Amino acid sequence: MLPSDMIKGLSLPVIAAPMFLVSGPEIVIAACRSGVVGAFPTLNQRTTDGYVQWLEQVEEGLALGPEPGVKQLGPHAVNLIVHKTNPRLEPDLKVTVEHRVPIVITSLGAAKEVVGAVHSYGGLVFHDVVSIRQAEKALAAGVDGIIGVCAGAGGHAGTMNPFALLYELRRLTDKTLILAGVVSTGAQVAAAIVAGADLVSVGTRFIATRESMASAAYKEMITRSSAADIVYTPKISGVNASFISQSITDAGLDLATLQHEGPIDMGAELSVDSKAWRDIWSAGQGVGAIRDIPATAELVRRMRAEYGGALDRALALRK
Ligand SMILES: Cc1cc2nc3c(=O)[nH]c(=O)nc-3n(C[C@H](O)[C@H](O)[C@H](O)COP(=O)(O)O)c2cc1C
């Protein structure tokens, strides 16, 4: 089946977002078997050979077919960091093509060569952006969809309000539009769709699931946090990102005196040994809606019920 048809058949218009040091094959398998898109960053494995092993594990897991009650498997996706300081880009892209990974989520750079390689086997490229200018560049490179990362998102969040971002992105393109940021419930997925998104990329909510690779302490801190506990700062990794303030304090750091020096080196920042993401925990402002650590399948079932309920309520309001 073509990846575009797999998108049409999703049980819920959701991508379980790729998250550095958090998403691996188990969450991808569980998400896809629940009928949504599952994704991991290739850099979550230390080497390209390790990445190949994870892809094989996912392919094996998906051979089990969808969960009972789910019509169709969701497609799996990987995240590639397209930046000159990422030495893994070329070998990881080669493996991605060999394994015909249905969806590739690109971050930082949108390169025509990457898009061409993924299109060669019918795969789709969705590109992360935080501004309209970045979206224009990505569309010029031929990507199939834009992931608009809004203010308050986990990871390298943007600063635009989601309504403003969606509106301006939709004015730019009819291609697949994905909202990323602060969506933790099925009702919020429905709100994003009503506001103009085709899909929603949900990150922070999936950190607190059984299959995520986050530590038990990280998951528990999420269930205790609220939006006011999230700080947006360039001081941890050199790029603006969202972190839970308690984890910064627990690591013995004080944002008031902390300086991050030197140019951006994605190869170093996104290495599995990176202290920034391993010891200081990222989450978005959607944390306040997260109070448990369910299995991924249970979470997707719950979100589907909330999504249906929200759409029913909206329809009932129609005059
Ligand atoms: C811990 C963490 C790590 C992340 N790592 C990546 C990454 O490696 N690549 C990427 O494209 N996005 C990454 N993101 C962003 C997510 O893919 C997604 O866009 C974001 O989490 C959505 O916002 P939300 O967390 O508010 O749901 C990360 C987010 C978090 C919370």
Q: Tell me the pTM.
A: 0.96
Ligand 1 within 6 A of 218 CB?
A: no
Tell me what the mean pLDDT of segment 262-280 comes to: 71
pLDDT single digits (tens) 50-62: 999 999 999 999 9
Ligand 1 site, residue 148, Cβ cutoff 6 A: no
Mean pLDDT across 267-279: 73
Q: What is the mean pLDDT of residues 258-262?
A: 69
pLDDT digits (tens, 9 = 90+) for 83-112: 988 999 999 999 999 999 999 999 999 889
- Verify whether ligand 1 is closer than 6 Å to residue 282 (CB atom): yes
Q: Which of 14, 15, 20, 290 to mutate to test the pocket of ligand 1 (most atoms within 8 A of CB)?
A: 20
Q: Is the CB of 236 under 6 A from ligand 1?
A: no
pLDDT for residue 59:
98
Q: Is the pLDDT of residue 262 over 60?
A: no
Q: Is 201 in the pocket of ligand 1 (CB under 6 A)?
A: yes
Pick the atom of ligand 1 nearest to 270's CA.
8
Residue among 19, 244, 271 whose CB has most ligand 1 atoms within 8 A, to mutate? 19
| Percent of the residues in the chain that have a pLDDT greater than 90, as a whole number | 86
Residue 212 has pLDDT above 90, yes or no: yes
Ligand 1 touching residue 77 (CB < 6 A) = no
Ligand 1 atom 13: residue of nearest CA: 19
What is residue 257's predicted lDDT score, i.e. its pLDDT? 85
Mean pLDDT of 104-127: 96
Using a 6 Å cutoff on CB, does residue 96 contact ligand 1? no
pLDDT in tens, 155-169: 999 999 999 999 999
CA of 242 to the centre of ligand 1 (A): 10
Instruction: Give the rounded percent of residues in the chain with a pLDDT score beyond 70.
Output: 95
3-state secondary structure the chain: CCHHHHHHCCCCCEEECCCCCCCCHHHHHHHHHCCCEEEEEHHHCCCHHHHHHHHHHHHHHHCCCCCCCCCCCCCEEEEEEECCCCCCHHHHHHHHHHCCCCEEEEEECCCHHHHHHHHCCCCEEEEEECCHHHHHHHHHCCCCEEEEECECCCECCECCCHHHHHHHHHHHCCCEEEEECCCCCHHHHHHHHHCCCCEEEECHHHHCCCCCCCCHHHHHHHHHCCHHHEEEECCCCCCCEEEEHHHHHHCCCCCCCCCCCCCCCHHHHCCCCCHHHHHCCECCHHHHHCCCCCCHHHHHHHHHHHHHHHHHHHHHCCC
Grade residue 269 by pLDDT with cuts at 50, 70 and 90: low
pLDDT band at 263 (very low <50, low <70, confident <90, very high): low
155 lines ligand 1 (CB under 6 A): yes
pLDDT for the residue numbered 110? 87
How sure is the predictor about 266, in pLDDT bands with cuts at 50, 70 and 90? Answer: low
Q: Can you give the pLDDT at residue 264?
A: 63
Q: Does residue 154 carry a pLDDT above 70?
A: yes
- The least confident of 1-5, 38-42, 105-109 is 1-5
Looking at ligand 1, which residue's alpha carbon is closest to its atom 4?
19
Mean of per-residue pLDDT scores for the chain: 95
Question: The domain 3-214+286-316: what is its CATH number?
Answer: 3.20.20.70
Question: What value does the mean pLDDT take over residues 23-34?
Answer: 98
